[in-house]
Structure 1
Amino acid sequence: MVRLERLRADHAPALLAFERENRAYFARTVPDRGDAYFAGFAAYHAARLAEQETGGIHFHVVLDDDDGGDGDGNGAGGRLIGRVNLIDVERGTAELGYRIGERAAGRGVATAAVAALCRLAATTYGLTALTARTTLDNPASRTVLERNGFVFAEHTTVGDRPGVRYERELLALDHGQNMRG
């Protein structure tokens, strides 16, 4: 079972370990964060938490409760297996981004996490539309977005790589209407 938690200060050790463990894996399909991110992680994490308090971003960690709940520094049990974020929150819209670790890839985790964040975006954050970008050479990410109702908007770049931008309106279903418990 996949669970999202809003990013907190006590997630820092598990999040840093996750990013380090998956750095090479992520670099195959998304621009690398660079050495400065890892060297200054504590300051970066604190800055993101402060920015989150303003409502301009909403960061979440993805936890796997089916791994035995061994905990690993995230403060709540369950292994940190990914992250899903909303950035550039403004006038009812935001850009969605996500990273799922290599050990959780191919199990539907990304699809489930993005679906859960779409519901949160509508119900908790009051958003009406999302955008997302991915590189052209990342068909798995494009599939996740398409399975979650995102549609092609335009060709773009992600870092220095060719990419695609998707859009999705958040409909009544996302706002909790007609949803089963």
Structure 2
Amino acid sequence: MEISIRLLQEKDAPDLFQFEIENREFFERMVPGRGDSFYTWHTFLKRHRELLAEQESGLGSFYLVKDPDGQIAGRINLVDIDAEAGTAEIGFRIGEAYGGKGIGNRALEMLLSTETDMKQIHAKTTTVNKVSQKVLEKNGFIHMGISDEELKMNDEKMKFVHYVWINKDFEK
């Protein structure tokens, strides 16, 4: 499936809110939840506007992953951007209906080719999220280790798995 990524805009709030509600249970099987208040329109809209301000300031880049019909298939974000050091943290989530279609892999590939001034991008996922681990590794992220700290989610114990991507253009 052909996809596109584009930066988050104010007008995306209603569709993104619906996407998050529809996929909440699916996402919370693999990553810690955002809390009930996130799923109220007022709180969501406030957070959406905070993300736009962060993006405007250069501290974050928040992309929507869109399917060929323009529907939101997922999100892929760079946060804690340090422009001087050329580093950031990445996070991504693909909606349940779009799983198993290579969309996460393609979105990450597109982001890495878009954010060419990044020297290193750090990522973390949970030990139960094998799909995200596979997507990261397929795109050249190096497994750095598993945290000692354990968390319990959905009655299952897990830890965080840490990765780093190093931009080969800066390795000279």
Distance of 1:41 and 1:88 partners within structure 2: 20
Equivalent residues of 1:85, 1:98 under 8 A apart: yes
1:115 corresponds to 2:109: yes
How much does 1:159 deviate? 6.5
Distance of 1:159 and 1:83 partners within structure 2: 24
1:89 corresponds to 2:81: yes
The corresponding residue for 1:12 is: 13
**Structure 1 segments of 4 or more deviating over 3 A?**
157-161
The corresponding residue for 1:168 is: 165
Distance of 1:158 and 1:24 partners within structure 2: 21
In the TM superposition, what are the counterparts of 1:38-53 in structure 2 within 5 Å?
Answer: 38-39=39-40, 40-53=43-56
The corresponding residue for 1:58 is: 61
How much does 1:120 deviate? 1.3
Cα offsets for 1:55-78 (capped at 9, x unmatched): 00100000001xxx2xxxxxxxx1
How much does 1:114 deviate? 0.6
In the TM superposition, what are the counterparts of 1:32-43 in structure 2 within 5 Å?
Answer: 32-39=33-40, 40-43=43-46
Distance of 1:15 and 1:153 partners within structure 2: 32
Cα–Cα, structure 1 residues 159 and 2, in superposed 2: closer, same or farther, change >3 Å? farther
Cα offsets for 1:73-113 (capped at 9, x unmatched): xxxxx110100000010120001100000000000000000
The corresponding residue for 2:119 is: 128
The corresponding residue for 1:145 is: 136
The TM-score, its normalising length taken from structure 1, stands at: 0.84
Paired positions, count? 159
Distance of 2:168 and 2:20 partners within structure 1: 33
Structure 1 counterpart SS, 2:32: coil
Distance of 1:87 and 1:22 partners within structure 2: 22
Structure 1 counterpart SS, 2:49: helix
Runs of 5+ consecutive residues of structure 2 not aligned to the other structure: 153-157
Cα–Cα, structure 1 residues 159 and 59, in superposed 2: closer, same or farther, change >3 Å? farther
> What is the one-letter code of the residue matched to 1:109?
I
How much does 1:172 deviate? 3.1
> What is the one-letter code of the residue matched to 1:166?
Y
> What is the one-letter code of the residue matched to 2:164?
E
How much does 1:36 deviate? 1.6
Distance of 1:170 and 1:36 partners within structure 2: 38
Distance of 2:22 and 2:150 partners within structure 1: 22
1:99 corresponds to 2:93: yes
Distance of 2:89 and 2:122 partners within structure 1: 5
**Bigger mean CA deviation after superposition, 21-30 or 36-45:** 36-45
Structure 2 counterpart SS, 1:30: coil
Runs of 5+ consecutive residues of structure 1 not aligned to the other structure: 70-77, 174-181
